[in-house]
Amino acid sequence: MPRSIYFDYNATTPLDPLVRDAMLPFLGEVWGNPSSLHRIGRQARAELDDARDRAAKFLGAKPSEIIFTSGGTEANNLAIFGTARLLQSKGRHLITSAVEHDAVLQAFDYLEKKEGFLVARLPVDSEGRVAPDDLKRAIRADTVLVSIMAANNEIGTIQPVSELGAVCRERGVVFHSDAVQWFGKEPFANISHFNADLISICAHKFHGPKGAGLLFINSPLMPDPIIFGGAQENERRAGTENLAAIFGLVVAMENFVRPPIFAADFLLHLSEKLRAAVKSVAGCKLVSPQKNCLSNTVSFVVRGADSISLLAGLDLEGICASSGSACSAGSLVPSHVVLALGRKDSANSLVRFSLGRFSSAAEVDFVCSALPAVIRRAQLAGNKASRL
């Protein structure tokens, strides 16, 4: 076996050589500022326009509906802050769910604490899923924005996003979906699939570069900008465009989203072996749903242990895993997703395996064989700590 087994594809994916090659011209000969009026600037502007046209064609959108961002976090922030502030004269009631990524939850927390908005956080069932009927009941006359993710990054739950979007459309409420974990993993035909007015996408989740993403904004919606200093990106996002990252995003979308680079049939076979191994270990409990779940994601909790001990033990075996969101790694803060499932006693022991295109059956077999001993050691450490 190789020394490192990478089972953390939900956190990030390696940059594909095809994508890297597409980016290289924009780190060399095409170096102009797209806002400059001279020949070198106009060359860069033409390339930027081409990238936007290609992204729009791929998504089934208009070029004016594509705003390039620095990634999923910025796309989420622009969607939430920009829309809430734009529409606040019509109402100050917002809705999200209890299991969103922190890039969404913290944005809503800020609007509630600092700007006087009211936020309803929808509960989820035991598998982490939002019920459309709960959304129907939560919408009020003054609700202006709903934000619910397409697929959960920590446990892999796929939300009924199209149904949720239909509820919002029927009630005349703007709907945003963080689809960062969807692209490259689930089937995608065009942007209308989500029934959403705003969609966040992030390149490094499907073998594109870090620092690249986009926000689809359904015309004629125009959220207020959150970054100021220029008229770039249809006056929605100031700052000189990163052409290399943008082309990396576009090429990754064109090559790895349709069909999904995360091949479901292959990954489901590997995931089922991991699920069986987890079930066989005393004290372990799967939290990823059996159905309507990302095919590459297997998450579980461990009684009598904590995530840091578990991940350290796996790392000593050369196994790269996660405790959930990579953006909050390194702390013992209990998983808010596991808490939302009603598992308060085990929320600080989440382990996530997320597989990808380079995962192999041999790697899965090695992890399955190493897992029982890793868990036993973490449980022993937890028992000793509790007696101190």
Question: Domain end: 199, 227, 256, which one?
Answer: 256
Nearest to 239 by CA among 68, 46, 49: 68
**DSSP character at residue 158:** B
Contact 146, 173 (CB under 8 A): yes
Chosen domain end from 233, 256, 279:
256
Indicate whether 209 and 335 sit together in one domain: no
Is-cis flag, bond preceding 17, omega within 30?
no
pLDDT of residue 345: 85
Q: How far is CA 164 from CA 53, 88, 129, 135, 151, in A?
A: 29, 22, 11, 7, 13
Residues 245 and 304 in one domain: no
Same domain? 175 vs 119: yes
Whether residues 195 and 77 fall in one domain:
yes
Question: Are 190 and 73 members of one domain?
Answer: yes
- Same domain for 314 and 383? yes
pLDDT tens, position by position, 203-254: 999 999 999 999 999 999 999 999 999 999 999 999 999 999 999 999 999 9
The C-alpha atoms of residue 386 and residue 388 are separated, in whole angstroms, by: 6
Say whether both 266 and 247 belong to one domain. no
How much is the pLDDT for 388? 47
Three-class SS of 72-136: HHHHHHHHHHHHHHHCCCCCCEEEEECCCCHHHHHHHHHHHHHCCCEEEEECCCCCCCCCHHHHH
CATH number at residue 135: 3.40.640.10
Q: Which of 372, 364, 377 is nearest to 312 (CA)?
A: 377
Contact 346, 299 (CB under 8 A): no
Range 110-120 average pLDDT: 98
Can you tell me whether residue 321 is helix, strand or coil?
coil
21 and 9 together in one domain = no
Which CATH number goes with the domain that contains 360? 3.90.1150.10
Q: By residue range, what is the domain housing residue 127?
A: 17-256
- Do 281 and 205 lie in one domain? The reply is no
One domain, residues 175 and 275: no
In this structure, the strands spanning 297-302 and 284-286 are antiparallel
Predicted confidence (pLDDT) per residue in 26-75, tens digit? 999 999 999 999 999 999 999 999 999 999 999 999 999 999 999 999 99
Split into its structural domains, the chain has a count of 2
pTM above 0.85, yes or no: yes
Q: Which two tokens stand for residue 53?
A: 């046209």
d(CA 137, CA 171): 11
Average pLDDT over residues 180-207: 97
Q: 327 an active-site residue?
A: yes
Q: Do 299 and 200 belong to one domain?
A: no
Clarify whether residues 56 and 87 are in a common domain. yes
pLDDT score of 385 more than 60: no
Where does a domain end: 196, 224, 256? 256
Catalytic residue among 168, 202, 293, 327: 327
